[in-house]
């Protein structure tokens, strides 16, 4: 099992601390650094900057939004980032949600599974320098009855097989991940509830004549290493409240649904009510300690080492962490403590 680090959204703070976290993760021997986008600064610019400041660590998008780019533009971007980084790019994709897709990008959130399948097929065609002739339900290239020409990527990519990851929560999307992706980007996945996820991914892999071992199972987790578990959980709660309570609408919130599936239905409802009512501190306080603990890395180094071992034994192949802390010094310290826990757990 390997370790990655999530930088989150660039521009959320007033300094370049998340870039410095990437540099430290590179020095510590982490395997990959991920950056995100929603409806603020884009992920591509951030990753290009990270690539220029690092030497060995892979760079990944978690995620590039499918409604925000055509498949051809994603292929062009993947080829560019991979070349500039010396073959270190991982292309993480996701459909986002209805509010962002339709409200920000003006793209209908319609049949996301079918759209994702076609999108990735076209991205791979382009990276393989095939002429883009595609007659799908959601994409047609060239457009019919027009002057469009079937084109191919002008410059040969450094790698035609840039790894493609999918951010997936629902069962059908997990199966699709197993069928067509190289890796999975999980969010709020409980360390002791990985088997249902693995079963779905494995079922999709079997359809494509592959096995679960062909897919990088990436679990995301907040990290708060310290003696007082309750205090450490308080560092993670605001982030989880944002997702469970406010990432989506009352009618459609994938992360809220996941909390319900994990057995926290009453708490998920309360968190959402408070968050949508703009009572953000109360929403964070309503996140149960048990939920934070099952989906994060909390406590002393020894306890975190035990949890890393459990994640490995339960099927995770990469743990992508978000270090907690009020400033760069605290977050960097969290990475170093995590590296100690990983060494103690015998993890590369």
pLDDT in tens, 72-90: 999 999 999 999 999 999 9
Interatomic CA distance for residues 115 and 131, integer angstroms: 20
Low-confidence spans in the chain with pLDDT less than 50: 14
pTM: 0.95
pLDDT for the residue numbered 158: 98
Residue 217's φ and ψ, nearest 5 degrees, are: -90, 100
Check residue 97 and give its pLDDT.
87
Residues of the chain with pLDDT > 70, as a percent, come to 99
Smallest Cα–Cα separation from 53: which of 30, 21, 77, 8?
21
Residue-level pLDDT at 14: 46
192-242 per-position pLDDT tens digit: 999 999 999 999 999 999 999 999 999 999 999 999 999 999 999 999 999
CB 152, CB 126: distance < 8 Å = yes
Task: Strands of the chain (E only): list them.
Answer: 2-9, 32-36, 58-61, 64-65, 89-94, 134-135, 140-141, 164-167, 183-186, 216-225, 296-299, 318-323
- Tell me, what's the pLDDT at 99? 87
Domain residues of the chain, as ranges? 2-226+300-345, 230-298
CA angle 244, 328, 20 (to 5 degrees): 100
Q: Are strands 140-141 and 134-135 parallel, antiparallel or unpaired?
A: antiparallel
Quote the pLDDT of residue 252: 81
Whole-number CA gyration radius for the chain: 20
- Domain 2-226+300-345: state its class: alpha beta
Q: Which of 207, 187, 188, 211 is nearest to 198 (CA)?
A: 211
With residue 241 as reference, give the H or E element that holds it.
helix 229-241
């Amino acid at each position: 099992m390997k370790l990655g680090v999530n930088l989150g959204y660039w521009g959320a703070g007033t300094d370049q601390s998340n870039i410095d976290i990437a540099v430290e993760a590179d020095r510590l021997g982490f395997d990959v650094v991920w950056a995100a986008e929603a409806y603020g600064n884009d992920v591509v610019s951030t990753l290009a900057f990270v690539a220029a400041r690092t030497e060995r660590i892979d760079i990944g998008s978690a995620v590039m939004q499918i409604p925000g780019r055509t498949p051809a533009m994603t292929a062009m971007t993947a080829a560019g980032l991979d070349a500039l980084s010396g073959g270190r790019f991982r292309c993480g994709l996701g459909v986002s949600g209805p509010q962002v897709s339709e409200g920000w990008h003006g793209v209908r959130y319609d049949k996301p599974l079918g759209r994702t399948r076609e999108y990735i097929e076209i991205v791979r065609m382009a990276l393989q320098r095939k002429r883009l002739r595609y007659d799908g339900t959601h994409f047609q290239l060239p457009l019919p009855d027009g002057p469009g020409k079937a084109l191919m990527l002008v410059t040969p990519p450094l790698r035609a097989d840039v790894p493609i990851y999918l951010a997936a929560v629902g069962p059908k999307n997990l199966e699709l991940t197993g069928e067509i992706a190289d890796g999975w980007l999980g969010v709020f996945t409980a360390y002791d509830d990985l088997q249902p996820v693995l079963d779905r991914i494995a079922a999709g892999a079997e359809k494509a004549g592959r096995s679960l071992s062909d897919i990088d199972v990436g679990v995301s987790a907040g990290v708060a290493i310290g003696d007082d578990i309750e205090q450490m959980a308080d560092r993670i709660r605001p982030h989880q409240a944002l997702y469970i309570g406010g990432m989506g609408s009352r009618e459609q919130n994938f992360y809220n649904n996941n909390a319900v599936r994990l057995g926290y239905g009453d708490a998920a409802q309360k968190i959402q009510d408070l968050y949508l009512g703009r009572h953000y501190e109360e929403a964070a306080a309503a996140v149960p300690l048990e939920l934070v603990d099952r989906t994060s890395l909390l406590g002393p180094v020894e306890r975190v080492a035990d949890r890393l071992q459990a994640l490995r034994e339960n099927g995770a192949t990469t743990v992508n962490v978000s270090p907690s802390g009020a400033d760069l010094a605290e977050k960097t310290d969290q990475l170093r403590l995590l590296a100690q826990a990983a060494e103690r757990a015998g993890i590369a």
